[in-house]
């Protein structure tokens, strides 16, 4: 075997994987989106057809794209999805950052346990957990029982936006905490000491050292939460109200209720392009600023901070 | 200006700093010299506010700073690892302490350029620390810690990450800066050459306490304990006994003439310490003379050291400066030679 053969094999496996499970499905979806709707099985006309004189004929239709651009239903659904995902991501960040920081600063022997607790919900099925939330949030559920117990009036929670946000934040919080923790636990404690030494009170140390140096972790967490949250279907369906016409739900309805596969595929394509542009622009921005904090440690320096 | 009294720092069951007293004068370069585990870095961190002492007081210009958090102490630290902020430019790093002082924009800029000039870093203001060499990073760290004009600068092994040649130049540079700014420095090092060449006063630390404090010449030429004599430079240490008020080598009974007044030992064991460079080889008029066999020669370029075994097995080192080069007159291993030294080369120690 030539020295490059192993490398080619590994790369080949990666490319095969991408081709089979990313490029091919996307190509199929794009094909459906560019087809004409038809009353047949499957419910769209073939894109490529052999004509009368055995010449291949291409039937490309932009009707589906024209429809999702023209009808405000779709852009509104997309806008609402972006808003819900954005707000959920913001709540995850505000809740997750202190959690990640607390875990990163806790004594070494506690950290694994705390991280385990963050990930523990994943041990049970997703639908089980959402159903548990239904039990907690419903009109005669536990939360309202507690409200009544302490003398407050019960609230309508289930099938509201509040319940939907609770569900999304609850589900995606670990995806925010873990990358933030990974970043914050590697933060050089000596930098914090140096900032304090130069006169920075604790809050300034946070804003001028901890926060900027954790930006890559913030971006990773934001992307990990935001992207799946935009297309989220199950949580709004089970916990949210009928008014929440999110893009995932619209897509589902086009596909299963209206049997309009080209329109559903066009929505999927639009969403994909949008979600690809976002991380690309973030990655581009991060690489422009060129964060490489690990490269600073001088060659021979021993890990300081230890009493000698 | 800085006074430390009865300072004690414990980590669990180990006492890193043990009832230590220390006084640092205004504008001086004080070097804390000690091996690893001697407590020198812990002492420095306690002065900087990063370690809470278990007992004792730290006062700076008459003010008790022992209870202040690091950001309220008018003391800056240059960290061994430099701890430069990787996301900030050189200029932003140097200006950090000035921004914390809430100085005006123009004044910050002026002082940053002044510090850049002082540390020969002009032209590097917009670079990130990762784009600098080790020596440049070291200078940024120094500039950053000096920019707020602290009344006292703490330096934790500031030269240890530099290679040998750069270290010598930087040593001189650091002393020049210290003199020019008139800021008191407390520098921690384990390098005795660094300590001797740079310090106004050296404090030799051993097991959490100051074994001796004095000028470089005092601690080198008049060490008070065996530890100090051995830690600072090489020393020949041989046991001596006193008979009729006169010291003699304990093994052979050879009388030794000493210039110093004998310490009152009350029968406790005593040692004689002689620096290798004070022992000459060959004929001389020095009153102290022994003979032995050369067992090893080590050539170090500027010096040549002979290891000589006396009849009773005692090993003595004699170091000579090769002012005219190695030359033809060489002492071979196995040769019998005479070693001699003056009475004022003898240091008698009791502990």
Calpha distance B46→B54 (Å, rounded): 10
CB contact under 8 A, B37 and A300: no
Q: Give B283-301 pLDDT, tens digit per residue.
A: 788 889 999 999 999 988 8
- Residues of chain A with Cβ-Cβ distance to B69 below 8 Å are 196
pLDDT of residue A44: 83
pLDDT of residue A288: 65
- pLDDT of B54 > 60? The answer is yes
For residues B6-26, average pLDDT: 94
CB contact under 8 A, A198 and B138: no
Residue B298, classed as helix, strand or coil, is strand
- pLDDT of A14 > 90? The answer is yes
Nearest-Cα distance to chain A for B134, in Å, is 6
Strands B184-189 and B29-33: parallel
Which residue in B200, B274, B290 sits closest to B230, CA to CA? B274
Angle CA A294–A299–A301, to nearest 5: 90
pLDDT of residue A243: 82
- The nearest alpha carbon in chain A to B11 belongs to A307
CB contact under 8 A, B86 and A209: no
Calpha distance A78→A247 (Å, rounded): 5
Q: Give A87-119 pLDDT, tens digit per residue.
A: 999 999 999 999 999 999 999 999 999 999 998
pLDDT of residue A2: 61
> Residue A205: which pLDDT band, with cuts at 50, 70 and 90?
very high
Question: What is the count of residue pairs from A and B with beta carbons less than 8 Å apart?
Answer: 115
pLDDT of residue A303: 38
For residues B68-78, average pLDDT: 94
- pLDDT of A282 > 90? The answer is no
Calpha distance B280→A35 (Å, rounded): 102
Calpha distance B196→B198 (Å, rounded): 6
- pLDDT of A302 > 60? The answer is no
CB contact under 8 A, B80 and A208: no
CB contact under 8 A, A291 and B86: yes
Residue that is written with structure tokens 């033809």 in the block: B328
Which residue in B174, B168, B170, B173 sits closest to B186, CA to CA? B174
For the question of an ipTM over 0.90, the answer is no
* Whether A175 contacts A224, CB under 8 Å: yes
> Residue A292: which pLDDT band, with cuts at 50, 70 and 90?
very low
Q: How many helices (H) and strands (E) does chain A have?
A: 15, 2
pLDDT of residue A301: 38
Which residue in A220, A194, A224, A222 sits closest to A209, CA to CA? A194
> Residue A289: which pLDDT band, with cuts at 50, 70 and 90?
low
pLDDT of residue B328: 64
Q: Would you give the end-to-end CA distance of chain A in angstroms?
A: 53
How is B133-152 classified by DSSP, letter by letter? -HHHHHHHHHHHHHTT--SE
* Whether B25 contacts B37, CB under 8 Å: no
- Residues of chain B with Cβ-Cβ distance to A286 below 8 Å are none
> Residue A39: which pLDDT band, with cuts at 50, 70 and 90?
confident
Residue B290, classed as helix, strand or coil, is strand
Of the candidates A291, A299, A307, which has its C-beta nearest B16's C-beta? A307
DSSP B263: P
Q: Give A165-178 pLDDT, tens digit per residue.
A: 999 999 999 999 99
- pLDDT of A295 > 60? The answer is no
pLDDT of residue B249: 87
Cβ-Cβ contacts under 8 Å for B245 (sequence gap 6 or more): B262
Q: How far is CA B190 from CA B43, B231, B338, in A?
A: 14, 10, 35
Q: Give A252-274 pLDDT, tens digit per residue.
A: 888 888 888 999 999 999 999 98
Cβ-Cβ contacts under 8 Å for B201 (sequence gap 6 or more): B24, B25, B28, B29, B30, B31, B213, B214, B215
> Residue B103: which pLDDT band, with cuts at 50, 70 and 90?
very high
- pLDDT of B231 > 50? The answer is yes
Calpha distance B272→B223 (Å, rounded): 11
Calpha distance A170→B203 (Å, rounded): 59
For residues B41-49, average pLDDT: 95
- pLDDT of A3 > 70? The answer is no
> Residue A307: which pLDDT band, with cuts at 50, 70 and 90?
very low
pTM of the shown model:
0.82
Q: Pick A290 or A203 by higher pLDDT.
A: A203
* Whether A304 contacts B156, CB under 8 Å: yes
- pLDDT of A195 > 90? The answer is yes
Nearest-Cα distance to chain B for A86, in Å, is 27
Look at A287-296, B207-216, B266-275 and tell me which has the smallest mean pLDDT.
Answer: A287-296
- pLDDT of B163 > 50? The answer is yes
Helices A161-184 and A126-137: angle between axes, nearest 10 degrees: 130
């Amino acid at each position: 075997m030539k020295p490059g053969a192993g490398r080619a094999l590994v790369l080949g496996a990666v490319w095969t994987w991408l081709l089979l499970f990313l490029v091919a499905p996307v190509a199929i979806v794009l094909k459906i989106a560019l087809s004409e709707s038809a009353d047949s099985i499957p419910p769209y006309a073939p894109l490529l057809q052999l004509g009368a004189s055995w010449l291949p004929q291409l039937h490309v239709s932009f009707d589906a794209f024209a429809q999702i651009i023209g009808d405000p239903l779709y852009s509104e659904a997309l806008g609402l999805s972006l808003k819900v995902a954005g707000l959920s991501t913001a709540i995850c960040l505000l809740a997750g950052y202190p959690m990640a920081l607390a875990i990163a600063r806790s004594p070494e022997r506690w950290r694994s346990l705390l991280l385990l607790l963050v990930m523990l919900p994943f041990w049970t099925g997703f639908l089980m957990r959402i159903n548990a939330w239904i039990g907690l949030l419903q009109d005669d559920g536990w939360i309202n029982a507690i409200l009544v117990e302490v003398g407050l009036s019960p609230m309508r929670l289930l099938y509201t936006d509040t319940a939907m946000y609770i569900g999304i934040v609850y589900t995606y919080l670990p995806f925010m905490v873990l990358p933030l923790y990974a970043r914050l636990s590697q933060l050089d404690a000596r930098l914090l000491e140096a900032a304090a030494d130069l006169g920075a009170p604790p809050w300034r140390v946070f804003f001028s050292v901890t926060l900027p140096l954790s930006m890559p972790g913030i971006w990773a967490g934001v992307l990990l939460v935001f992207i799946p949250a935009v297309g989220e279907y199950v949580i709004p369906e089970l916990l949210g109200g009928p008014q929440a016409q999110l893009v995932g739900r619209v897509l589902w309805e086009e596909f299963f209720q209206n049997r309009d596969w080209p329109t559903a595929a066009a929505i999927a394509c639009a969403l994909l392009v949008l979600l690809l542009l976002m991380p690309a622009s973030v990655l581009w921005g991060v690489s422009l600023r060129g964060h490489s904090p690990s490269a600073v440690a001088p060659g021979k320096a021993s890990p300081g901070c230890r009493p000698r | 200006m800085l006074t430390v009294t009865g300072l004690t720092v414990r980590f669990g069951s180990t006492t890193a700093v043990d009832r230590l007293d220390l006084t640092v004068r205004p504008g001086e370069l004080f070097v804390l010299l000690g091996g690893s585990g001697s407590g020198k870095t812990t002492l420095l961190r306690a002065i900087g506010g990063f370690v809470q002492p278990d007992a004792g007081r730290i006062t700076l210009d008459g003010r008790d700073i022992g209870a202040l958090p690091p950001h309220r102490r008018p003391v800056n630290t240059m960290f061994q690892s430099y701890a430069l902020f990787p996301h900030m430019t050189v200029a932003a790093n140097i200006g950090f302490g000035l921004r914390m002082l809430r100085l005006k924009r123009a004044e910050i800029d002026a002082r940053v350029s002044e510090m850049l000039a002082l540390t020969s870093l002009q032209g590097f203001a917009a670079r990130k620390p990762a784009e600098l060499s080790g020596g440049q990073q070291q200078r940024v760290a120094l500039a950053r810690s000096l920019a707020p004009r602290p009344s006292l600068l703490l330096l934790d092994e500031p030269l240890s990450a530099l290679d040998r040649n750069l270290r010598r130049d930087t040593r001189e540079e650091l002393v020049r800066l210290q003199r020019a700014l008139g800021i008191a420095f407390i520098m921690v090092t384990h390098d005795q050459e660094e300590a001797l060449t740079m310090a106004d006063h050296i404090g030799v630390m051993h097991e959490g306490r100051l074994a001796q404090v004095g000028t470089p010449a005092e601690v080198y030429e008049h060490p008070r304990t065996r530890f100090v004599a051995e830690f600072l430079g090489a020393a020949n240490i041989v046991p001596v006994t006193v008979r009729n008020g006169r010291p003699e080598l304990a093994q052979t009974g050879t009388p030794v003439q000493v210039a110093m007044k004998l310490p009152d030992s009350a029968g406790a064991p005593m040692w004689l310490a002689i620096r290798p460079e004070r022992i000459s080889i060959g004929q001389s008029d020095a009153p102290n003379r022994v003979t032995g066999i050369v067992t090893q020669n080590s050539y170090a370029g500027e010096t040549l050291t002979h290891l000589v075994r006396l009849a009773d097995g005692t090993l003595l080192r004699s170091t000579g400066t090769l002012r005219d080069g190695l030359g033809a007159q060489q002492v071979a291993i196995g040769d019998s030679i005479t070693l001699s030294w003056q009475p004022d080369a003898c240091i008698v120690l009791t502990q």
